[in-house]
Amino acid sequence: MDTIPQNNWWVYLLECKDDSLYCGITNNLEKRLKQHNGEIKGGAKYTRSHLPCKLVYKEKSASRSEALQREAAIKKMSKDEKQALIR
């Protein structure tokens, strides 16, 4: 049986068609991007109405807990701060 390593977590930013940014976490980035773009079932309600979305930033985290904390910090940033992070 295959198991997903618990230290394989990512914090990511997507840029949507209206130039808005969406932040999330996952332990399977490729699958999550397909979900967000409606290629497979799942994805956030927000991104479903802002298609297409493209990955503009990703950051590896050591654990789910660390990823959640980093996601919360990024969500508190202004859009300008998020764009600086992307650059």
The CATH number given to whatever domain includes residue 46 is 3.40.1440.10
pLDDT in tens, 18-50: 999 999 999 999 999 999 999 999 889 899 889
Determine, yes or no, domain membership for 1.
Answer: no
Could you tell me the two tokens for 6? 């618990």
> What is the pLDDT of the chain when averaged over all its residues?
92
Q: Provide the domain limits for residue 65.
A: 9-86
What average pLDDT does the segment 46-63 reach? Answer: 95
Residue 21 gets which letter from DSSP? E
- The candidate with the shortest Cα–Cα distance to 22, out of 45, 6, 40, 1, is 45
